[in-house]
Amino acid sequence: MRPFSQALARFLLAAAFVLAATGPSRAADAPRVVASIGPIGSLTAAVMRGVGSPTVLLPAGASPHAYALRPSEARALASADLVLWVGEALEAFLEEPLQSLARPETVVELAEADGLTLYPARKGGVWEADHDDEHDGNDSHDHGHGHGGIDPHFWLDPRNAAVLVDRIADALAKRDPARADAYRANAVAAKADIAALDARLAADLRPLRGRPYVVFHDAYQYLERRYDLAPVGAVSIGPERSPGARRLAHLRDTIAERGAVCAFREPQFAPKVLESLAGDTHVRVGVLDPLGTSPGPDGYVALMQGLGEALVQCLSAPH
């Protein structure tokens, strides 16, 4: 991460306070909301429907695991009325800017939301055939006990998305009480859409249970556990680390032993290693995108439907 100079941080923060003091303060102005990544931005946009739209920091195609904030994005943080992020387990690039630029009272770390089901991060590589071994669906972590080592991709369980919608609505209502009723009503509508999405995905993915596959990096645990899917391992230990020859050999053996039918790459990362692995083992290659491309109010549903369609297309194809 490119470090911010303290001088730049002080300048941007001072400029934000000047804008807040001299700019328009009419009740009709929508709050300035910044969301870290597309899925959080789309859930926020759904809650803000008819009021305004959030600014999403991470551009489409970028990875939250390795990103350098641009000056325009730093200014957005400094002038925001509300900043929503997952937490340091996902967006390490935001830790220092949030401390130096954002006003503390504006920052909401969504990993702290009440009611989330959180799983420990798994080790990369090959997983046991029963991937629900010691961390089954009843082993969620209470949000108040600290969340170092959690898997931060928790929006990929629609039940967690519904929890996030309520948390976002609460945060917006606190910052903008004049429109609290609108945020609450939008949250109710968004949760209804998410519940319908969950039911569709459950029906679509049920036939895929037991169909083994490989992913590029371990970003899909919440989706897999919700719909009882059967991943056998991840190519990369972490999204920034290329696997070594020994690791790839182990995965090749595992693919052969367990009969994996598909290997999924991600648009945020170069596909060469995974495609080489797939070529050696003759499995099909699909694409899974845990972030999606639309931060609009319908973007979360589109993201999850896209994941479901990609899984069905690759795992249902005949041998």
Total Cβ atoms within 10 A of residue 274 = 25
Query: Does 138 map to a domain?
Result: no
Whether residues 50 and 180 fall in one domain: yes
Whether residues 113 and 47 fall in one domain: yes
Q: How many helices and strands (H and E) does the chain possess?
A: 10, 9
Q: What are the pLDDT digits (tens) for 211-264?
A: 999 888 889 999 999 999 999 888 876 655 666 777 777 778 888 888 888 889
Whether residues 82 and 168 fall in one domain: yes
Whether residues 287 and 185 fall in one domain: no
Question: Is residue 217 within 8 Å of 234, Cβ to Cβ?
Answer: yes
Query: Does 131 map to a domain?
Result: no
Report the alpha-carbon distance of residue 57 to residue 70 in Å, rounded: 9
Burial class of residue 237 (count of CB atoms within 10 Å of its CB; 0-12, 13-18, 19+) = middle
Whether residues 232 and 270 fall in one domain: yes
Whether residues 229 and 85 fall in one domain: no
Query: Which of 142, 167, 200 corresponds to the end of one domain?
Result: 200
Whether residues 27 and 168 fall in one domain: yes
Whether the predicted pLDDT of 12 surpasses 50: no
Whether residues 183 and 213 fall in one domain: no
Predicted TM-score (pTM) of the model is 0.83
* Nearest alpha-carbon partner for 225 in 157, 142, 124, 300: 157
Report the alpha-carbon distance of residue 28 to residue 270 in Å, rounded: 45
Residue with tokens 């082993």: 139
Whether residues 190 and 302 fall in one domain: no
Query: Does 145 map to a domain?
Result: no
Query: Does 1 map to a domain?
Result: no
Whether the predicted pLDDT of 126 surpasses 60: yes
Which structural domain range is residue 251 located in? 209-316
Q: What are the pLDDT digits (tens) for 145-195?
A: 334 489 999 999 999 999 999 999 999 999 999 999 999 999 999 999 999
Whether residues 23 and 157 fall in one domain: yes
Of the chain, the end-to-end C-alpha distance in Å amounts to 44
CATH number at residue 238: 3.40.50.1980
Query: Does 130 map to a domain?
Result: no
Query: Does 64 map to a domain?
Result: yes
Name the pLDDT band for 1 (thresholds 50, 70, 90): very low
Q: What are the pLDDT digits (tens) for 89-120?
A: 999 899 999 999 999 999 999 999 999 999 99
Query: Does 142 map to a domain?
Result: no
Report the alpha-carbon distance of residue 102 to residue 83 in Å, rounded: 8
> How many domains, in total, are found in the chain?
2
